[in-house]
Structure 1
Protein backbone atom coordinates (compact mmCIF):
# COMPACT_ATOMS: atom_id res chain seq x y z
CA UNK A 1 0.00 0.00 0.00
CA UNK A 2 2.83 2.35 0.88
CA UNK A 3 4.71 1.74 -2.39
CA UNK A 4 1.55 2.39 -4.42
CA UNK A 5 0.60 5.69 -2.77
CA UNK A 6 4.16 6.99 -3.14
CA UNK A 7 3.46 7.60 -6.85
CA UNK A 8 0.67 10.05 -6.02
CA UNK A 9 1.96 13.66 -5.77
CA UNK A 10 1.76 15.48 -2.48
CA UNK A 11 -0.41 18.59 -2.33
CA UNK A 12 2.72 20.78 -2.46
CA UNK A 13 4.04 18.91 -5.52
CA UNK A 14 0.70 19.24 -7.27
CA UNK A 15 0.61 22.98 -6.61
CA UNK A 16 4.13 23.44 -7.96
CA UNK A 17 3.36 21.41 -11.08
CA UNK A 18 0.12 23.30 -11.61
CA UNK A 19 1.88 26.64 -11.31
CA UNK A 20 4.46 25.57 -13.87
CA UNK A 21 1.78 24.44 -16.29
CA UNK A 22 -0.16 27.65 -15.83
CA UNK A 23 2.96 29.69 -16.56
CA UNK A 24 3.65 27.68 -19.69
CA UNK A 25 0.12 28.17 -21.00
CA UNK A 26 -0.45 31.76 -19.90
CA UNK A 27 -1.62 34.39 -22.38
CA UNK A 28 1.39 36.73 -21.91
CA UNK A 29 3.43 34.22 -23.92
CA UNK A 30 1.81 35.68 -27.04
CA UNK A 31 0.00 38.78 -25.84
CA UNK A 32 2.48 41.58 -26.45
CA UNK A 33 0.83 44.16 -28.64
CA UNK A 34 2.04 44.06 -32.23
CA UNK A 35 4.14 40.92 -31.79
CA UNK A 36 3.65 37.75 -33.81
CA UNK A 37 3.99 34.21 -32.51
CA UNK A 38 3.82 31.63 -35.29
CA UNK A 39 3.13 27.94 -34.83
CA UNK A 40 3.19 25.30 -37.51
CA UNK A 41 0.38 22.75 -37.72
CA UNK A 42 0.62 20.34 -40.61
CA UNK A 43 2.74 22.81 -42.56
CA UNK A 44 0.25 25.66 -42.06
CA UNK A 45 1.42 28.93 -40.55
CA UNK A 46 -0.76 29.78 -37.56
CA UNK A 47 -0.26 33.30 -36.23
CA UNK A 48 -1.86 34.94 -33.23
CA UNK A 49 -1.21 38.58 -32.50
CA UNK A 50 -2.64 42.02 -31.81
CA UNK A 51 -3.06 45.28 -33.63
CA UNK A 52 -3.59 48.66 -32.01
CA UNK A 53 -6.41 50.74 -33.46
CA UNK A 54 -6.09 54.49 -34.12
CA UNK A 55 -7.89 55.17 -30.82
CA UNK A 56 -5.45 52.96 -28.91
CA UNK A 57 -7.37 49.70 -28.48
CA UNK A 58 -5.51 46.38 -28.70
CA UNK A 59 -7.43 43.95 -30.91
CA UNK A 60 -6.54 40.26 -30.81
CA UNK A 61 -6.63 38.32 -34.07
CA UNK A 62 -5.76 34.97 -35.63
CA UNK A 63 -4.23 34.81 -39.09
CA UNK A 64 -3.71 31.28 -40.36
CA UNK A 65 -2.74 29.82 -43.71
CA UNK A 66 -0.72 30.84 -46.78
CA UNK A 67 -0.32 34.61 -47.10
CA UNK A 68 -0.86 34.47 -50.85
CA UNK A 69 -4.14 32.50 -50.59
CA UNK A 70 -7.58 34.11 -50.79
CA UNK A 71 -8.44 35.42 -47.32
CA UNK A 72 -11.67 34.63 -45.48
CA UNK A 73 -12.44 37.00 -42.61
CA UNK A 74 -14.74 35.84 -39.81
CA UNK A 75 -16.85 38.11 -37.57
CA UNK A 76 -18.15 36.52 -34.35
CA UNK A 77 -21.44 37.01 -32.53
CA UNK A 78 -22.24 38.59 -29.16
CA UNK A 79 -20.80 38.02 -26.53
CA UNK A 80 -18.34 35.50 -27.92
CA UNK A 81 -14.90 35.58 -29.53
CA UNK A 82 -13.02 34.40 -32.60
CA UNK A 83 -12.88 30.95 -30.98
CA UNK A 84 -16.52 30.47 -31.92
CA UNK A 85 -15.35 30.03 -35.52
CA UNK A 86 -12.78 27.30 -34.80
CA UNK A 87 -14.64 24.58 -36.78
CA UNK A 88 -14.78 26.90 -39.78
CA UNK A 89 -11.23 28.21 -39.39
CA UNK A 90 -9.79 24.70 -39.42
CA UNK A 91 -12.04 23.60 -42.28
CA UNK A 92 -11.13 26.47 -44.58
CA UNK A 93 -7.44 26.66 -43.73
CA UNK A 94 -7.15 22.99 -44.73
CA UNK A 95 -8.92 23.85 -47.99
CA UNK A 96 -6.05 26.17 -48.83
CA UNK A 97 -7.51 29.51 -47.74
CA UNK A 98 -5.99 32.15 -45.50
CA UNK A 99 -8.34 32.57 -42.52
CA UNK A 100 -8.51 35.61 -40.27
CA UNK A 101 -10.66 36.14 -37.18
CA UNK A 102 -10.53 38.78 -34.47
CA UNK A 103 -11.98 39.32 -31.01
CA UNK A 104 -14.20 42.41 -31.08
CA UNK A 105 -13.12 45.18 -28.71
CA UNK A 106 -14.11 44.24 -25.17
CA UNK A 107 -14.59 40.60 -26.20
CA UNK A 108 -12.31 37.60 -25.80
CA UNK A 109 -8.65 38.61 -25.56
CA UNK A 110 -9.03 42.14 -26.93
CA UNK A 111 -8.69 45.13 -24.60
CA UNK A 112 -11.52 45.66 -22.12
CA UNK A 113 -11.88 49.36 -22.80
CA UNK A 114 -14.73 51.38 -21.32
CA UNK A 115 -16.06 53.01 -24.49
CA UNK A 116 -16.57 52.47 -28.20
CA UNK A 117 -18.93 49.50 -28.00
CA UNK A 118 -21.03 50.53 -30.98
CA UNK A 119 -21.20 49.52 -34.62
CA UNK A 120 -19.21 52.50 -35.89
CA UNK A 121 -16.24 51.56 -33.72
CA UNK A 122 -16.62 47.86 -34.52
CA UNK A 123 -16.41 48.65 -38.24
CA UNK A 124 -13.46 51.00 -37.76
CA UNK A 125 -11.61 48.27 -35.83
CA UNK A 126 -12.16 45.78 -38.66
CA UNK A 127 -10.95 48.36 -41.18
CA UNK A 128 -7.80 48.94 -39.13
CA UNK A 129 -7.11 45.19 -39.07
CA UNK A 130 -7.72 44.79 -42.80
CA UNK A 131 -5.50 47.77 -43.58
CA UNK A 132 -2.66 46.57 -41.38
CA UNK A 133 -2.77 43.04 -42.84
CA UNK A 134 -3.36 44.48 -46.34
CA UNK A 135 -6.23 42.06 -46.94
CA UNK A 136 -7.69 42.16 -50.46
CA UNK A 137 -10.11 40.03 -52.52
CA UNK A 138 -11.54 38.79 -49.24
CA UNK A 139 -14.66 36.89 -48.28
CA UNK A 140 -16.33 38.21 -45.12
CA UNK A 141 -18.41 35.82 -43.01
CA UNK A 142 -20.40 37.08 -40.04
CA UNK A 143 -22.71 35.44 -37.52
CA UNK A 144 -25.44 37.30 -35.61
CA UNK A 145 -23.93 40.63 -34.45
CA UNK A 146 -20.92 39.73 -36.56
CA UNK A 147 -23.20 39.52 -39.59
CA UNK A 148 -24.16 43.13 -39.04
CA UNK A 149 -20.54 44.09 -38.50
CA UNK A 150 -19.45 42.30 -41.68
CA UNK A 151 -22.20 43.91 -43.77
CA UNK A 152 -21.47 47.36 -42.38
CA UNK A 153 -17.73 46.94 -43.04
CA UNK A 154 -18.29 45.85 -46.64
CA UNK A 155 -20.70 48.74 -47.26
CA UNK A 156 -18.72 51.48 -45.54
CA UNK A 157 -15.03 50.58 -45.65
CA UNK A 158 -14.41 47.43 -47.64
CA UNK A 159 -15.69 48.04 -51.15
CA UNK A 160 -12.17 47.84 -52.59
CA UNK A 161 -11.14 44.86 -50.47
CA UNK A 162 -14.15 42.52 -50.27
CA UNK A 163 -15.17 40.06 -52.99
CA UNK A 164 -18.05 38.20 -51.32
CA UNK A 165 -20.12 38.31 -48.16
CA UNK A 166 -21.85 35.57 -46.15
CA UNK A 167 -24.12 36.17 -43.16
CA UNK A 168 -25.46 33.53 -40.78
CA UNK A 169 -28.32 34.20 -38.37
CA UNK A 170 -27.47 37.87 -38.80
CA UNK A 171 -29.21 40.81 -37.12
CA UNK A 172 -29.78 43.12 -40.18
CA UNK A 173 -31.79 45.02 -41.17
CA UNK A 174 -32.68 45.94 -37.53
CA UNK A 175 -33.88 43.90 -34.57
CA UNK A 176 -35.74 46.51 -32.50
CA UNK A 177 -39.47 46.89 -32.97
CA UNK A 178 -40.69 50.32 -34.06
CA UNK A 179 -43.35 51.90 -36.23
CA UNK A 180 -41.03 51.43 -39.19
CA UNK A 181 -40.20 47.86 -38.13
CA UNK A 182 -43.39 46.40 -36.63
CA UNK A 183 -42.13 42.82 -36.81
CA UNK A 184 -39.12 43.49 -34.59
CA UNK A 185 -38.58 42.53 -30.96
CA UNK A 186 -39.82 45.02 -28.32
CA UNK A 187 -37.36 46.98 -26.18
CA UNK A 188 -38.46 44.92 -23.16
CA UNK A 189 -36.65 41.91 -24.63
CA UNK A 190 -33.32 43.72 -24.75
CA UNK A 191 -33.90 45.37 -21.38
CA UNK A 192 -34.32 41.83 -20.09
CA UNK A 193 -30.94 40.89 -21.55
CA UNK A 194 -29.33 43.85 -19.80
CA UNK A 195 -31.00 43.06 -16.48
CA UNK A 196 -29.99 39.39 -16.57
CA UNK A 197 -26.41 40.29 -17.49
CA UNK A 198 -26.12 42.84 -14.70
CA UNK A 199 -27.68 40.58 -12.08
CA UNK A 200 -25.74 37.37 -12.75
CA UNK A 201 -23.73 37.28 -15.95
CA UNK A 202 -22.33 33.80 -15.28
CA UNK A 203 -25.81 32.30 -14.94
CA UNK A 204 -27.14 34.24 -17.94
CA UNK A 205 -24.24 32.99 -20.06
CA UNK A 206 -25.13 29.44 -19.11
CA UNK A 207 -28.85 29.77 -19.72
CA UNK A 208 -28.55 31.20 -23.24
CA UNK A 209 -26.55 28.34 -24.81
CA UNK A 210 -28.32 25.73 -22.69
CA UNK A 211 -31.61 26.96 -24.10
CA UNK A 212 -32.47 28.89 -27.26
CA UNK A 213 -29.06 29.59 -28.79
CA UNK A 214 -28.48 26.01 -29.94
CA UNK A 215 -32.11 24.95 -29.75
CA UNK A 216 -31.35 22.74 -26.77
CA UNK A 217 -34.70 23.76 -25.27
CA UNK A 218 -36.57 22.00 -28.08
CA UNK A 219 -38.17 18.63 -27.43
CA UNK A 220 -35.90 15.82 -28.56
CA UNK A 221 -32.84 18.05 -28.95
CA UNK A 222 -29.46 16.40 -28.50
CA UNK A 223 -27.84 18.56 -25.83
CA UNK A 224 -24.06 18.92 -26.04
CA UNK A 225 -22.66 20.09 -22.71
CA UNK A 226 -19.30 20.91 -24.28
CA UNK A 227 -20.92 23.51 -26.55
CA UNK A 228 -22.64 25.10 -23.56
CA UNK A 229 -19.38 25.22 -21.62
CA UNK A 230 -17.44 26.63 -24.56
CA UNK A 231 -20.04 29.37 -25.09
CA UNK A 232 -19.87 30.22 -21.37
CA UNK A 233 -16.06 30.26 -21.46
CA UNK A 234 -15.94 32.68 -24.38
CA UNK A 235 -18.54 34.97 -22.89
CA UNK A 236 -16.89 35.17 -19.47
CA UNK A 237 -13.52 36.03 -21.06
CA UNK A 238 -14.92 39.35 -22.23
CA UNK A 239 -15.90 42.57 -20.50
CA UNK A 240 -19.28 42.89 -18.80
CA UNK A 241 -19.31 46.58 -19.76
CA UNK A 242 -18.63 45.84 -23.42
CA UNK A 243 -21.30 43.16 -23.50
CA UNK A 244 -23.85 45.37 -21.74
CA UNK A 245 -23.25 48.25 -24.17
CA UNK A 246 -23.13 45.84 -27.09
CA UNK A 247 -26.78 44.90 -26.63
CA UNK A 248 -27.72 48.35 -27.90
CA UNK A 249 -25.30 47.96 -30.82
CA UNK A 250 -26.80 44.72 -32.10
CA UNK A 251 -30.43 45.53 -31.38
CA UNK A 252 -30.77 49.18 -32.38
CA UNK A 253 -28.35 49.61 -35.29
CA UNK A 254 -30.23 50.10 -38.56
CA UNK A 255 -28.34 48.35 -41.37
CA UNK A 256 -30.87 49.18 -44.10
CA UNK A 257 -28.63 51.64 -45.95
CA UNK A 258 -25.63 49.31 -45.58
CA UNK A 259 -27.52 46.45 -47.19
CA UNK A 260 -28.65 48.66 -50.06
CA UNK A 261 -25.06 49.78 -50.68
CA UNK A 262 -23.58 46.26 -50.95
CA UNK A 263 -22.98 45.19 -54.55
CA UNK A 264 -20.87 42.05 -54.16
CA UNK A 265 -22.44 38.56 -54.16
CA UNK A 266 -23.95 37.89 -50.75
CA UNK A 267 -25.23 34.63 -49.27
CA UNK A 268 -27.78 35.06 -46.47
CA UNK A 269 -27.97 31.87 -44.38
CA UNK A 270 -30.51 31.50 -41.59
CA UNK A 271 -32.07 28.79 -39.46
CA UNK A 272 -35.85 28.61 -39.70
CA UNK A 273 -36.01 27.84 -35.96
CA UNK A 274 -33.78 30.74 -34.90
CA UNK A 275 -35.12 31.83 -31.49
CA UNK A 276 -32.54 34.59 -30.99
CA UNK A 277 -32.82 36.44 -34.32
CA UNK A 278 -36.20 35.41 -35.77
CA UNK A 279 -35.93 34.88 -39.52
CA UNK A 280 -39.09 36.80 -40.48
CA UNK A 281 -37.67 40.14 -39.38
CA UNK A 282 -34.06 39.54 -40.41
CA UNK A 283 -32.97 37.35 -43.30
CA UNK A 284 -36.28 37.49 -45.16
CA UNK A 285 -36.11 41.29 -45.16
CA UNK A 286 -32.36 41.65 -45.60
CA UNK A 287 -32.15 39.66 -48.82
CA UNK A 288 -34.71 41.97 -50.45
CA UNK A 289 -32.46 44.97 -49.78
CA UNK A 290 -29.35 43.43 -51.33
CA UNK A 291 -28.50 44.02 -54.99
CA UNK A 292 -26.94 40.58 -55.40
CA UNK A 293 -28.25 38.47 -52.54
CA UNK A 294 -29.12 34.77 -52.25
CA UNK A 295 -31.15 33.36 -49.37
CA UNK A 296 -30.64 29.85 -47.97
CA UNK A 297 -32.99 28.74 -45.20
CA UNK A 298 -32.29 25.70 -43.00
CA UNK A 299 -35.44 24.07 -41.68
CA UNK A 300 -35.30 23.32 -37.97
CA UNK A 301 -31.86 24.87 -37.49
CA UNK A 302 -31.23 27.11 -34.44
CA UNK A 303 -29.32 30.38 -34.11
CA UNK A 304 -25.91 28.76 -33.53
CA UNK A 305 -26.31 26.37 -36.44
CA UNK A 306 -22.74 26.66 -37.72
CA UNK A 307 -21.61 25.04 -34.45
CA UNK A 308 -24.13 22.20 -34.26
CA UNK A 309 -24.25 21.54 -38.03
CA UNK A 310 -20.74 22.47 -39.23
CA UNK A 311 -20.62 19.77 -41.92
CA UNK A 312 -23.65 21.20 -43.73
CA UNK A 313 -22.81 24.87 -43.19
CA UNK A 314 -19.13 24.58 -44.13
CA UNK A 315 -19.92 22.75 -47.36
CA UNK A 316 -22.51 25.33 -48.39
CA UNK A 317 -20.19 28.23 -47.68
CA UNK A 318 -17.37 26.59 -49.61
CA UNK A 319 -19.63 26.07 -52.62
CA UNK A 320 -20.66 29.71 -52.58
CA UNK A 321 -17.08 30.96 -52.24
CA UNK A 322 -15.85 28.79 -55.11
CA UNK A 323 -18.96 29.31 -57.23
Structure 2
Protein backbone atom coordinates (compact mmCIF):
# COMPACT_ATOMS: atom_id res chain seq x y z
CA UNK A 1 0.00 0.00 0.00
CA UNK A 2 1.07 3.60 -0.61
CA UNK A 3 1.62 5.39 2.68
CA UNK A 4 3.37 8.44 4.06
CA UNK A 5 4.55 8.82 7.65
CA UNK A 6 3.59 12.08 9.35
CA UNK A 7 5.86 14.10 11.63
CA UNK A 8 4.28 12.45 14.66
CA UNK A 9 4.86 8.97 13.23
CA UNK A 10 1.42 8.10 11.85
CA UNK A 11 1.13 6.10 8.63
CA UNK A 12 -1.41 7.66 6.26
CA UNK A 13 -2.70 5.63 3.33
CA UNK A 14 -3.27 7.41 0.03
CA UNK A 15 -4.25 6.81 -3.60
CA UNK A 16 -2.50 8.66 -6.42
CA UNK A 17 -3.86 8.03 -9.91
CA UNK A 18 -3.23 9.68 -13.26
CA UNK A 19 -0.48 11.64 -15.04
CA UNK A 20 2.08 13.12 -12.68
CA UNK A 21 2.25 16.32 -14.73
CA UNK A 22 -1.53 16.87 -14.72
CA UNK A 23 -3.27 19.29 -12.39
CA UNK A 24 -3.93 17.46 -9.11
CA UNK A 25 -7.28 17.23 -7.39
CA UNK A 26 -7.17 16.02 -3.80
CA UNK A 27 -10.26 14.63 -2.12
CA UNK A 28 -10.97 14.68 1.64
CA UNK A 29 -13.57 12.22 2.93
CA UNK A 30 -16.22 12.53 5.61
CA UNK A 31 -16.81 10.83 8.96
CA UNK A 32 -16.50 7.84 9.49
CA UNK A 33 -15.60 6.81 5.94
CA UNK A 34 -12.47 6.50 3.81
CA UNK A 35 -11.06 7.65 0.48
CA UNK A 36 -13.22 4.96 -1.14
CA UNK A 37 -16.17 7.29 -0.74
CA UNK A 38 -14.72 9.34 -3.60
CA UNK A 39 -14.65 6.50 -6.16
CA UNK A 40 -17.19 8.13 -8.50
CA UNK A 41 -15.35 11.46 -8.46
CA UNK A 42 -11.85 10.03 -8.75
CA UNK A 43 -12.70 7.94 -11.80
CA UNK A 44 -14.58 10.84 -13.39
CA UNK A 45 -11.72 13.32 -13.03
CA UNK A 46 -9.12 10.71 -13.97
CA UNK A 47 -10.96 10.17 -17.24
CA UNK A 48 -10.90 13.95 -17.80
CA UNK A 49 -7.12 14.04 -17.61
CA UNK A 50 -6.50 15.09 -14.02
CA UNK A 51 -4.22 13.60 -11.40
CA UNK A 52 -6.45 12.45 -8.53
CA UNK A 53 -5.32 11.92 -4.96
CA UNK A 54 -7.23 10.84 -1.87
CA UNK A 55 -6.13 9.67 1.55
CA UNK A 56 -7.66 7.88 4.52
CA UNK A 57 -7.75 10.15 7.55
CA UNK A 58 -5.79 8.90 10.57
CA UNK A 59 -7.77 6.17 12.31
CA UNK A 60 -9.96 5.71 9.23
CA UNK A 61 -9.82 3.19 6.40
CA UNK A 62 -6.32 1.81 5.89
CA UNK A 63 -4.43 4.48 7.83
CA UNK A 64 -2.92 3.72 11.23
CA UNK A 65 -5.38 3.31 14.09
CA UNK A 66 -3.58 5.61 16.49
CA UNK A 67 -5.01 6.76 19.80
CA UNK A 68 -4.33 10.48 19.54
CA UNK A 69 -4.63 13.38 17.12
CA UNK A 70 -8.25 13.10 16.06
CA UNK A 71 -8.79 16.82 15.61
CA UNK A 72 -8.81 19.34 12.76
CA UNK A 73 -5.23 20.47 13.33
CA UNK A 74 -3.88 16.95 12.93
CA UNK A 75 -6.27 16.17 10.07
CA UNK A 76 -4.97 19.18 8.14
CA UNK A 77 -1.34 18.45 8.97
CA UNK A 78 -1.75 14.85 7.80
CA UNK A 79 -3.20 16.06 4.51
CA UNK A 80 -0.22 18.38 4.13
CA UNK A 81 2.12 15.44 4.70
CA UNK A 82 0.55 13.72 1.69
CA UNK A 83 0.75 16.92 -0.38
CA UNK A 84 4.42 17.43 0.45
CA UNK A 85 5.27 13.77 -0.12
CA UNK A 86 3.70 13.87 -3.60
CA UNK A 87 4.86 17.46 -4.25
CA UNK A 88 1.39 18.54 -5.31
CA UNK A 89 1.16 22.09 -6.66
CA UNK A 90 -1.71 24.14 -8.12
CA UNK A 91 -4.03 21.61 -6.48
CA UNK A 92 -7.78 21.77 -6.08
CA UNK A 93 -8.90 20.46 -2.68
CA UNK A 94 -12.42 19.05 -2.40
CA UNK A 95 -13.85 18.05 0.98
CA UNK A 96 -17.12 16.42 1.97
CA UNK A 97 -18.71 16.88 5.41
CA UNK A 98 -15.90 16.55 7.99
CA UNK A 99 -13.55 16.55 5.03
CA UNK A 100 -14.81 20.04 4.26
CA UNK A 101 -13.62 21.13 7.68
CA UNK A 102 -10.31 19.47 6.96
CA UNK A 103 -10.04 21.37 3.66
CA UNK A 104 -10.81 24.70 5.33
CA UNK A 105 -8.14 24.17 7.99
CA UNK A 106 -5.65 22.80 5.44
CA UNK A 107 -6.06 25.68 2.99
CA UNK A 108 -5.86 28.34 5.70
CA UNK A 109 -2.93 26.86 7.64
CA UNK A 110 -0.92 24.92 5.05
CA UNK A 111 -2.09 25.18 1.45
CA UNK A 112 -2.04 28.94 1.02
CA UNK A 113 1.11 29.62 3.09
CA UNK A 114 3.00 27.01 1.02
CA UNK A 115 1.54 28.26 -2.28
CA UNK A 116 0.28 24.81 -3.21
CA UNK A 117 -3.48 25.34 -3.50
CA UNK A 118 -5.40 26.80 -6.46
CA UNK A 119 -9.04 26.35 -5.47
CA UNK A 120 -11.20 24.70 -2.82
CA UNK A 121 -14.61 23.06 -2.71
CA UNK A 122 -16.73 22.46 0.40
CA UNK A 123 -19.45 19.86 -0.18
CA UNK A 124 -22.12 19.32 2.49
CA UNK A 125 -19.40 20.59 4.80
CA UNK A 126 -19.41 21.23 8.54
CA UNK A 127 -17.83 24.76 8.74
CA UNK A 128 -18.15 27.17 10.30
CA UNK A 129 -19.61 25.45 13.41
CA UNK A 130 -22.25 22.79 13.93
CA UNK A 131 -22.67 23.00 17.72
CA UNK A 132 -25.22 25.30 19.31
CA UNK A 133 -23.48 27.84 21.54
CA UNK A 134 -24.26 31.27 22.92
CA UNK A 135 -22.50 32.77 19.90
CA UNK A 136 -24.06 30.22 17.51
CA UNK A 137 -27.68 29.82 18.69
CA UNK A 138 -28.79 28.30 15.34
CA UNK A 139 -26.51 25.27 15.81
CA UNK A 140 -27.46 21.76 16.87
CA UNK A 141 -27.65 21.00 20.61
CA UNK A 142 -24.88 18.97 22.21
CA UNK A 143 -27.38 16.15 22.82
CA UNK A 144 -27.37 15.39 19.08
CA UNK A 145 -23.64 14.72 19.13
CA UNK A 146 -23.84 12.89 22.45
CA UNK A 147 -26.26 10.58 20.67
CA UNK A 148 -23.65 9.92 17.99
CA UNK A 149 -21.07 9.17 20.68
CA UNK A 150 -23.45 6.77 22.41
CA UNK A 151 -24.12 5.02 19.13
CA UNK A 152 -20.41 4.52 18.47
CA UNK A 153 -19.74 3.31 22.01
CA UNK A 154 -22.76 1.03 22.37
CA UNK A 155 -23.07 -0.65 18.97
CA UNK A 156 -21.05 0.93 16.22
CA UNK A 157 -21.91 -1.79 13.71
CA UNK A 158 -25.65 -1.15 14.07
CA UNK A 159 -25.25 2.62 14.01
CA UNK A 160 -23.25 2.33 10.80
CA UNK A 161 -26.25 0.60 9.22
CA UNK A 162 -28.84 2.97 10.64
CA UNK A 163 -27.18 6.20 9.45
CA UNK A 164 -26.86 5.34 5.73
CA UNK A 165 -30.19 3.50 5.71
CA UNK A 166 -31.85 6.63 7.05
CA UNK A 167 -30.79 10.28 6.98
CA UNK A 168 -27.37 10.23 5.30
CA UNK A 169 -28.66 9.54 1.79
CA UNK A 170 -32.25 10.57 2.42
CA UNK A 171 -33.39 6.98 2.10
CA UNK A 172 -35.86 7.69 4.93
CA UNK A 173 -37.79 10.12 2.72
CA UNK A 174 -41.10 9.06 1.09
CA UNK A 175 -40.61 7.43 -2.32
CA UNK A 176 -36.83 7.43 -1.97
CA UNK A 177 -34.98 4.98 -4.20
CA UNK A 178 -33.04 2.94 -1.67
CA UNK A 179 -29.69 1.56 -2.87
CA UNK A 180 -28.64 -1.42 -0.70
CA UNK A 181 -25.13 -1.52 -2.17
CA UNK A 182 -24.54 2.08 -1.15
CA UNK A 183 -25.65 1.30 2.40
CA UNK A 184 -23.40 -1.75 2.58
CA UNK A 185 -20.45 0.21 1.21
CA UNK A 186 -20.94 2.92 3.85
CA UNK A 187 -20.95 0.22 6.54
CA UNK A 188 -17.85 -1.41 5.04
CA UNK A 189 -15.90 1.83 5.02
CA UNK A 190 -16.94 2.75 8.53
CA UNK A 191 -16.09 -0.60 10.06
CA UNK A 192 -12.60 -0.51 8.55
CA UNK A 193 -11.75 2.37 10.84
CA UNK A 194 -11.06 2.74 14.53
CA UNK A 195 -13.84 3.17 17.08
CA UNK A 196 -11.54 5.52 19.03
CA UNK A 197 -10.96 7.72 15.97
CA UNK A 198 -14.67 7.76 15.21
CA UNK A 199 -15.62 8.61 18.79
CA UNK A 200 -13.08 11.42 19.08
CA UNK A 201 -13.88 12.66 15.59
CA UNK A 202 -17.41 13.60 16.63
CA UNK A 203 -15.99 16.38 18.78
CA UNK A 204 -13.74 17.47 15.92
CA UNK A 205 -16.53 17.87 13.39
CA UNK A 206 -19.13 19.31 15.74
CA UNK A 207 -17.25 21.59 18.13
CA UNK A 208 -14.46 23.07 15.99
CA UNK A 209 -15.20 26.71 15.23
CA UNK A 210 -13.73 27.34 11.77
CA UNK A 211 -14.88 30.92 11.34
CA UNK A 212 -11.31 32.20 11.19
CA UNK A 213 -10.27 29.47 8.73
CA UNK A 214 -12.99 30.54 6.32
CA UNK A 215 -12.09 34.22 6.68
CA UNK A 216 -8.45 33.42 5.92
CA UNK A 217 -9.14 31.58 2.67
CA UNK A 218 -8.39 33.75 -0.37
CA UNK A 219 -8.52 31.19 -3.20
CA UNK A 220 -11.79 30.72 -5.14
CA UNK A 221 -14.02 28.44 -3.10
CA UNK A 222 -17.18 26.66 -4.22
CA UNK A 223 -19.74 25.72 -1.56
CA UNK A 224 -22.20 22.97 -2.53
CA UNK A 225 -25.07 21.85 -0.30
CA UNK A 226 -28.40 20.06 -0.54
CA UNK A 227 -31.34 21.79 1.09
CA UNK A 228 -32.59 18.44 2.45
CA UNK A 229 -29.35 17.62 4.25
CA UNK A 230 -30.41 15.90 7.48
CA UNK A 231 -26.86 15.49 8.80
CA UNK A 232 -25.37 18.97 8.32
CA UNK A 233 -28.29 21.41 8.04
CA UNK A 234 -27.67 24.01 5.36
CA UNK A 235 -28.64 26.93 7.60
CA UNK A 236 -25.91 25.99 10.10
CA UNK A 237 -23.18 25.54 7.52
CA UNK A 238 -23.19 26.55 3.85
CA UNK A 239 -25.36 29.65 4.20
CA UNK A 240 -23.01 30.97 6.88
CA UNK A 241 -19.78 29.72 5.31
CA UNK A 242 -20.22 31.50 1.99
CA UNK A 243 -20.60 34.84 3.78
CA UNK A 244 -17.26 34.36 5.53
CA UNK A 245 -15.31 33.42 2.40
CA UNK A 246 -13.63 36.19 0.43
CA UNK A 247 -14.21 34.52 -2.92
CA UNK A 248 -17.00 32.07 -2.17
CA UNK A 249 -19.75 30.84 -4.48
CA UNK A 250 -22.76 28.93 -3.19
CA UNK A 251 -24.84 26.40 -5.11
CA UNK A 252 -27.86 24.83 -3.42
CA UNK A 253 -29.45 21.62 -4.69
CA UNK A 254 -33.19 21.36 -3.96
CA UNK A 255 -34.08 18.07 -2.29
CA UNK A 256 -30.54 16.67 -2.25
CA UNK A 257 -29.25 14.77 0.77
CA UNK A 258 -26.00 14.82 2.71
CA UNK A 259 -24.69 11.95 0.59
CA UNK A 260 -25.46 13.63 -2.73
CA UNK A 261 -21.95 13.01 -4.06
CA UNK A 262 -22.91 9.35 -4.34
CA UNK A 263 -26.61 9.43 -5.14
CA UNK A 264 -26.36 12.40 -7.53
CA UNK A 265 -22.81 11.88 -8.77
CA UNK A 266 -23.48 12.81 -12.40
CA UNK A 267 -24.84 16.23 -11.47
CA UNK A 268 -22.21 16.97 -8.85
CA UNK A 269 -19.33 15.80 -11.03
CA UNK A 270 -20.37 18.09 -13.88
CA UNK A 271 -20.58 21.08 -11.56
CA UNK A 272 -17.23 20.28 -9.97
CA UNK A 273 -15.59 19.96 -13.38
CA UNK A 274 -16.98 23.32 -14.49
CA UNK A 275 -15.56 24.98 -11.36
CA UNK A 276 -12.16 23.33 -11.64
CA UNK A 277 -11.82 24.32 -15.30
CA UNK A 278 -13.36 27.77 -14.89
Please confirm whether the aligned pair reaches a TM-score higher than 0.5, indicating the same fold. yes
Match among 142, 161, 175 for residue 130 of structure 2: 175
Alpha-carbon displacement from aligned partner over 1:43-89 (angstroms, at most 9, x marks no partner): xxxxxx00000110000000000000000000000000000000000
Q: TM-score, normalised by structure 2?
A: 0.99
Partner in structure 2 of residue 45 of structure 1: none
Give the CA RMSD over aligned residues. Answer: 0.4
Task: Report the CA distance between 1:93 and its aligned residue.
Answer: 0.4
Q: Give the secondary structure class of the aligned counterpart of 2:166.
A: helix
2: distance between equivalents of 1:196 and 1:131? 36
Find out whether 1:185 has 2:150 as its counterpart: no
Q: Does 1:72 align with 2:25?
A: yes
Matching residue within 296, 308, 311 for 2:263? 308
Instruction: Kindly indicate whether residue 206 of structure 2 is the aligned counterpart of residue 255 of structure 1.
Output: no
> Which residue of the partner structure matches residue 169 of structure 2?
214
Alignment pair present for 1:118 and 2:71: yes
Which of the residues 225, 236, 242 maps onto 2:197? 242
Aligned equivalent of 1:229: 184
Q: Mapping of 1:34-45 within 5 angstroms? A: none
Structure 1 Cα separation of the partners of residues 276 and 6 of structure 2:
29
Using the TM superposition, give the Cα deviation of residue 151 of structure 1 relative to its aligned residue in structure 2, in angstroms.
1.0
**TM-score of the two chains, using structure 1 as the length reference:** 0.85
In 1, the alpha carbon distance for the partners of 2:36 and 2:79 equals 17
Query: C-alpha separation between the residues in 2 aligned to 1:126 and 1:235?
Result: 20
Asked which structure has the greater RCO (Cα within 8 Å, sep 6+), the reply is 2
User: Deviation of residue 276 (structure 1)?
Assistant: 0.1
State the match for 1:320 in structure 2: 275
Q: Give distance in 2, aligned partners of 1:303 and 1:79.
A: 14
Paired with 1:113 and 1:151, the residues of 2 have a C-alpha distance of 23
Between the aligned partners of 2:134 and 2:121, the Cα distance in structure 1 is 29
Structure 1 residue 132, shift from structure 2 partner: 1.0
Secondary structure of the equivalent of 1:157? helix
Tell me the equivalent position of 2:96: 143
* One of 56, 59, 81 as aligned partner of 2:34: 81
1:241 is displaced (CA, Å) by: 0.3
Instruction: Please point out which of 202, 205, 208 is paired with 2:160.
Output: 205
Question: How far apart, in 1, do the equivalents of 2:195 and 2:238 lie?
Answer: 29
Give the distance between the partners of 1:166 and 1:117, measured in 2 at CA.
22
Secondary structure of the residue that 1:213 maps to in structure 2? coil
From 196, 203, 215, give the equivalent of 2:151. 196
Q: Secondary structure at the match of 2:4?
A: strand
What is the CA distance between 1:124 and its match in structure 2?
Answer: 0.8
1:281 counterpart residue number: 236
Matches within 5 A, 1:126-141: 126-141=79-94
Name structure 2 gaps, 5 residues minimum.
none
Distance in 2, Cα, partners of 1:249 & 1:278: 17
Residue 14 of structure 2, aligned match among 44, 47, 61: 61
Structure 1 gaps of 5+ residues are: 1-29, 31-48
- Report the structure number with the largest CA radius of gyration: 1
